[in-house]
Structure 1
Amino acid sequence: MFNYTIKYTAENTYENPVFEAYWQYLVTPLTDDTQELISSEFNASASCVFEKSINGYDFETIRIRNKKAVDALNFEAVFKVIKAEVGPIEFDSSIKFEETYNALSDLSFTVDFEAYLYPTEFTQLKEEPFDLFMFEPSKNIIDNLKALNSWVHHYITFKSNETYQNTLLKDVVKNKAGDSPDFAHLFLAIARKNKLPGRFVTGYLHQGNNFFGDTQMHAWVEVYVPNSGWIGFDPSNNLFANHNHVKVAHGIDYKDCAPFKSFLFASGDKKIKHAVEVTYDQ
């Protein structure tokens, strides 16, 4: 077992006073079969009201509302999480490749996973995905996904803050550079084109192993494979998601999982800085 301490900080500064605002943070680690949230602590520099709510995907959000005009808001969250080692991927060798691939075309399968099967604004490719990467029918689905993970990892050069929240996939493919959400979006575009449900995941990455994306909130993907379930892939680092990955939320793309959103009644420029510290012991 791994005992994680995660510290998330955000500095928001504004050119002019903000008289009324709502800041929303989707940064709280969830509890599932591989991890357990033990404690959470929140602090803000300004005189604010904290509210917890559950979003449409059943993940906890923190909303902050100011009581008086402010020109800055510093927010800090500290989490304690216990994370388990993820076991090896289970694949029933008695099931023929054809049976698994045929399951993807079953109507009930399409209905069950409809939300994660179709392109979105950020997973829409101008090119045909098959022109970029093709699955090999002679390989099982998991081996094809491992190959896709490796291909995306090498196709895009990781550059932190290279892109913005509204960067489209066609620009990422053209420039062959991006941040972890761009790796995830490209992976999802190709997986979904091959009839595999895929969801965008945000969370924290263990620091100290020189992983790409470990200094900020990280993005990876989960793909549903018949007879195996949801499997996590981190194309930024060419890894399976394991104990190194502490999950916060998932959705169809970045918009569903954006760590920070704000609704302001103010004018002028603003500056936002985010930082993450992740430590653990066994």
Structure 2
Amino acid sequence: MRYQIAHTTTYTYSLPVILQPHLVRLRPRCDGTQSLSAFSLKVSPAPANASPLIDLDGNTPIKLWFPPETVTHLEIAVLSQVETYRTNPFNFLLDPWAIQLPIDYPLSLVSQLQPYLSAADRPIDPIALQLSQELSHTVHNDTISFLSQLNQQIHQTCRHTLRETGDPLPAGLTWNQKLGSCRDFTVLFMEVCRAVGLASRFVSGYQEGEPGWERHLHAWVEVYLPGAGWRGYDPTQGLAVADRHIALVASAHPKYAAPVTGSFAPAAGVQATLKHSLSIQGL
């Protein structure tokens, strides 16, 4: 599939502010599942400098520095052309030792996957742990069945709500209230996977959707499967990720997949309003 994506994000400030450095994570990634053929970034007010980076996860954010002048708005507009290739999300064979849970990773692989296996600052959520144990028992510890069942259970049990700002909710809270945004469902899925030793990461991007849908940024999960590599699951829609998803960035930590991060001064007493427009067109 080939897509053209036009995405504009506008911040309006209630009082004049000076913009501090911002990190923009809106450049679609290039890998074996998709390629980026064209990309442009326009920023108003114009930054003093824009520096493309490669972060620890291999993403390619752009860092912006601004002149020390007061402004009342910030507009970031990107235009991308992307081709996606994964028509069949199930065209893989797991390594024999990864077919059943829990997976006994070789030590060399554990060291590479460690950031994706657990959160450094807290233990696994006990509600997510209980859900993982129930699912494992139901599917007789079959790895692929576990992931498919988890994907469908979140999709069918929880109600989706749009929440454009704020951090993802804790996994246990999302499961208890059976309500959340796509990023809340993503964090819940990740936490349940990590409870059974499956490495997982948070992905920010776009999904083609249906004609007439209002477009928004989307989030889903990638799970590292020995023999298959990173494979995507979208619990919001109950789908295995294929060529109708367009990934921007992925990270073990959701905050490092946020589309735009930055600050302004003075912050006290200033209200910031966010608006966006997003168009995804097939080519």
The corresponding residue for 2:249 is 249
Q: Does 1:140 align with 2:139?
A: no
| 8 A contact 2:51–2:64 mirrored in 1 | yes
TM-score by length of 1: 0.87
The count of corresponding residues between Structure 1 and Structure 2 is: 277
Where structure 1 has 5 or more consecutive residues not aligned to the other structure, the ranges are none
List structure 1 segments (4+ residues) > 6 angstroms apart after TM superposition.
Answer: none
Matched residues in 1 for 2:44 and 2:102: separation? 55
User: Cα–Cα, structure 1 residues 155 and 129, in superposed 2: closer, same or farther, change >3 Å?
Assistant: farther
The corresponding residue for 2:221 is 221
User: Cα–Cα, structure 1 residues 210 and 188, in superposed 2: closer, same or farther, change >3 Å?
Assistant: farther
**CA displacement at 1:163 relative to structure 2:** 7.2
| 8 A contact 2:25–2:259 mirrored in 1 | yes
Where structure 2 has 5 or more consecutive residues not aligned to the other structure, the ranges are none
Q: Alpha carbon RMSD of aligned pairs, Å?
A: 2.6
| 8 A contact 2:6–2:279 mirrored in 1 | yes
**CA displacement at 1:106 relative to structure 2:** 4.0
The corresponding residue for 1:89 is 90
User: Cα–Cα, structure 1 residues 134 and 44, in superposed 2: closer, same or farther, change >3 Å?
Assistant: same
The corresponding residue for 1:72 is 73
Match of 1:203 among 178, 202, 205: 205
User: Cα–Cα, structure 1 residues 176 and 122, in superposed 2: closer, same or farther, change >3 Å?
Assistant: farther
Matched residues in 2 for 1:194 and 1:200: separation? 17
The corresponding residue for 1:233 is 233
**CA displacement at 1:4 relative to structure 2:** 0.7
TM-score by length of 2: 0.87
Identity %: 23
**CA displacement at 1:125 relative to structure 2:** 1.9
| 8 A contact 1:19–1:265 mirrored in 2 | yes
User: Cα–Cα, structure 1 residues 215 and 124, in superposed 2: closer, same or farther, change >3 Å?
Assistant: farther
The corresponding residue for 2:157 is 155
| 8 A contact 2:170–2:187 mirrored in 1 | no
Matched residues in 2 for 1:242 and 1:14: separation? 38
User: Cα–Cα, structure 1 residues 122 and 175, in superposed 2: closer, same or farther, change >3 Å?
Assistant: farther
Q: Does 1:55 align with 2:55?
A: yes
The corresponding residue for 1:23 is 22
